[in-house]
Structure 1
Amino acid sequence: MVLRKVNKKMAMDSRRKLVSALDPKSPITEQYRTIRTNIQFASIDKELNTIMVTSAGPGDGKSTTAANLSVTFAQQGKRYC
């Protein structure tokens, strides 16, 4: 029973983290698309090759942000290495 609760919690965490892929119409996903659009407008004169996500400390959501931004760029057909 404990293992089942842990697996369920891990599944919920995964769904929250990749909200852009799993719930494309959510308000959170729309915010990631807004960030994507702002990045594109900020680099309108020059094509981006790399995007870096950073923060002051651990657990701030860097990986979550990078993954969701990657999904939104991929949904638009863009590819960054």
Structure 2
Amino acid sequence: MPTLNGELDLYTAPRLLDAVDGALAAGSPVNLLVDAGALTFCDSHGLEAQGKVARAGGNMELGHVSGRLRRVLDLSGLSRAFTIV
């Protein structure tokens, strides 16, 4: 399970997108479970990764979502964009 830590924003999102591209390179639908337990900040750039996975016919799940991140996802309605486990 890939783990996100620190901040996910304009400057760090390319690393996540590279990992998603690597997972999608096989060509079949991919279901990714991403550990977000150590994520301290996330802006809308995380949606780009989810969009890539969805367009490829896969699903992106977020694990260990709590605290501030959970509140931001819930308040913004973005919790519906992900499967949260």
Bin of the TM-score, shorter chain as denominator length: 0.3 to 0.5
Normalised by the size of structure 2, how large is the TM-score?
0.36
TM-score computed with the length of structure 1 as normaliser: 0.37
Larger Rg: 1
